[in-house]
Structure 1
């Protein structure tokens, strides 16, 4: 890439886009799509260990960089580079800031302190972040989809069959079987399978593009009744939500779940564990107590304009660019 190409852009975005499909990669992809749609010029570099030295050398050519990474050590590295070089940095912390313990927690909070503009996703993390960096901001991870791929007629027919047979269709999602620091299954999918196996009137769609849960159930001879549909291949969870009545986020830990914001955006009844602070329109419950899922509750009306995190991100981008230009002048 020639030097002249860099000068055209002020913003370097560092992260990953699908594949794999996950909350962070989808957020980054939608951010890039939205910026392009609004004519905001940027450069994107995919975050890979093999690409790390190139990214570090490249970021000095831009007015600021915006990092999306889940790895605590990567977050710390880029925040340290930002502090030592004076380079404007935005780091989005996609996990709750109280997720880790011990050394990892100390390193995470140090990176918050060192980065120029830390972005967190929920109220609990925002309170923690402000104690370490007065520039901390809380911005939603949700960005409305622009180029969402339609689901196939086969999936639509399967979901419609569930709708015709059961009084309510729930949707939940995951990407692979993962465990938290207490060795608890993070997404709580196996718990939900057990709950819905013992429910005659309701159905559940499990979106897991990795296929891990489908394979796990086969290998461990876990019964999956006809009211449960596992989608074990790449597909749009948004399109699944549109055909569902409600969503469940049965996690043991969380950030500011993208799937929750998607559910609210489509005015779906939205249930989530109370492990972190949630949007006031979310119906929270203690994991393990699933009785509330089957009560007759009407979905709340949502102001969709307040859900779109790209609005605040672009404001922050423009603020940094204007300040940088003013400093040069």
Structure 2
């Protein structure tokens, strides 16, 4: 019989590029760096029977998935398997789906050994259903940054040379909240920057789906907006701009916000969830964002370097649970 694996990380890694896939990739890199024995399985690419066998032969299962249905099914399976410890990271704000999917999430949380949440509001809600809930930062610093290609760098430099101030925002894909609104509100930002021709906006759109969505819906992208529609490292974009905008209708523990602070860039973000110290907060409306753009000063007073490494807390949690299993 195959020996049991202590730790199984279930998730997805790039491509596509997104907050969850980047988090999982960096977690695995840090586990390797700290010489923590583990196995990673990309559940998109493995046969479901093999996946269940992997879970059966593991002591700790750490699941990263954006699907409430998949989270529920894995939680149910682990709960009825003897001595399976499920760590369930909820990427995003708990309660952001419709009633049925939110219910599945709450059941999955209650069945998990340790739910891991990424912001204060999710922590308060999760604690009602599982007292073992922990709050751990989603931010895991990159071990290495992939530089932008020469053509892309030239395009950014030309934009910066012709404009006074250049902002950046990112969207892993075109997604909608439970009220049907664009989560990343890129269409609204395009309309806003049409009215601000002396300022630039770089839109990190690694899937290219957002650009296609905007064009399909009749959006005209002005010359002061640059879409990047190929896979790239957003870290490298952050380092080229004056400020980052996170104008989302909902969120988890935004990686881009913390990376921006880490690199010393001001961040303007909606107050829809708790944000790190140093973030410039705005209401979830264009009027509030416009007021800040018109009146903010891009000084170091707004910037704090986010140094908390979520991987360290996760590794300590692994060690704690393994110790309990062996006692």
Q: Does 1:103 align with 2:100?
A: yes
8 Å contact 2:171–2:205 — kept in the other structure? yes
8 Å contact 1:210–1:234 — kept in the other structure? yes
Instruction: Give distance in 2, aligned partners of 1:127 and 1:87.
Output: 25
Equivalent residue number for residue 20 of structure 1: 16
Q: Which secondary structure state, in structure 2, belongs to the residue aligned with residue 67 of structure 1?
A: strand
Instruction: Give distance in 2, aligned partners of 1:301 and 1:222.
Output: 33
Q: After superposition, where does 1:105-120 map in structure 2 within 5 Å? A: 105-120=102-117
Q: Which secondary structure state, in structure 2, belongs to the residue aligned with residue 10 of structure 1?
A: strand
Farther off after superposition, 44-53 or 156-165: 44-53
8 Å contact 1:82–1:116 — kept in the other structure? no
**Count of residue correspondences:** 321
Equivalent residue number for residue 292 of structure 2: 292
- Structure 1 residue runs of 5 or longer lacking an equivalent are none
Farther off after superposition, 182-191 or 74-83: 74-83
Superposed CA RMSD: 1.7
How big is each residue's C-alpha offset from its partner over 1:279-310, in whole Å with a ceiling of 9 and x where there is no partner? 2321111122222124224243424332x111
Equivalent residue number for residue 263 of structure 2: 266
Q: Which secondary structure state, in structure 1, belongs to the residue aligned with residue 307 of structure 2?
A: helix
Instruction: Give distance in 1, aligned partners of 2:147 and 2:171.
Output: 19
Q: Does 1:58 align with 2:54?
A: yes
Q: Which secondary structure state, in structure 1, belongs to the residue aligned with residue 47 of structure 2?
A: helix
Moved over 4 A (4+): none
Instruction: Give distance in 1, aligned partners of 2:28 and 2:46.
Output: 22
Farther off after superposition, 147-156 or 24-33: 147-156
Q: TM-score when scaled to structure 1? A: 0.93
**1:41, distance to aligned residue in structure 2 (A):** 1.6
8 Å contact 2:88–2:116 — kept in the other structure? yes
Say which of 173, 181, 186 aligns to 2:170: 173
Instruction: Give distance in 2, aligned partners of 1:301 and 1:231.
Output: 25
Q: Does 1:30 align with 2:26?
A: yes
**1:272, distance to aligned residue in structure 2 (A):** 1.0
Instruction: Give distance in 1, aligned partners of 2:116 and 2:34.
Output: 22
8 Å contact 2:159–2:200 — kept in the other structure? yes
- Structure 2 residue runs of 5 or longer lacking an equivalent are none
Equivalent residue number for residue 305 of structure 1: 307
**1:82, distance to aligned residue in structure 2 (A):** 2.4
Q: TM-score when scaled to structure 2? A: 0.93
**1:270, distance to aligned residue in structure 2 (A):** 0.6
Instruction: Give distance in 2, aligned partners of 1:124 and 1:145.
Output: 27
Instruction: Give distance in 1, aligned partners of 2:271 and 2:84.
Output: 37
Instruction: Give distance in 1, aligned partners of 2:114 and 2:68.
Output: 16
8 Å contact 1:119–1:139 — kept in the other structure? yes
Farther off after superposition, 49-58 or 73-82: 49-58
How big is each residue's C-alpha offset from its partner over 1:304-328, in whole Å with a ceiling of 9 and x where there is no partner? 332x1111001101111122222xx
8 Å contact 1:18–1:29 — kept in the other structure? yes
Instruction: Give distance in 2, aligned partners of 1:303 and 1:154.
Output: 30
